[in-house]
Amino acid sequence: MNPTLQFPQIAIRIIKEQALVIGPLAWSEASKVTGLTVDESQNSASFSGDSKDVVNRLVAQYERIFGKASHAVCHDAVQDLISQMSPEEIPSSLK
């Protein structure tokens, strides 16, 4: 699949999985990430700049507040999506 289409899916999957744990806070924390625009009502995310960096920043945003456990949640949430990507396309935080 085209990585440009894949990254918004990855971001949405991560946010939704975090929302299962911390509730709507997951969306408000995601909206603070530079280069990421989210719309909870539409379940959508759009990127500006390097998509891989944006995903890494999103993962870091959760980890900064909630610790390593939240990093593992992000990683597990997107396993099926990143398995279809080539290693160089996968954001470092999800490897």
Q: With the C-alpha atoms ordered 34, 63, 59, 17, is the resulting torsion angle positive or negative?
A: negative
Give the one residue of 20, 50, 89, 92 binding another protein; rule: CB under 8 A: 20
Element spanning 66, H or E: helix 51-66
Give the one residue of 9, 46, 67, 79 binding another protein; rule: CB under 8 A: 67
Separation of alpha carbons 26 and 32, rounded Å: 10
Q: Which stretch binds another protein (CB under 8 A): 27-35, 51-59, 65-73, 80-88?
A: 65-73
- Asked whether the beta carbons of 71 and 14 are under 8 A apart, the reply is no
- Tell me: does residue 61 bind another protein (CB under 8 A): no
- Tell me: does residue 70 bind another protein (CB under 8 A): yes
Give the one residue of 66, 75, 82, 85 binding another protein; rule: CB under 8 A: 66
- Tell me: does residue 79 bind another protein (CB under 8 A): no
Give the one residue of 11, 14, 54, 73 binding another protein; rule: CB under 8 A: 73
Tell me phi and psi for residue 36, to 5 degrees: -120, 130
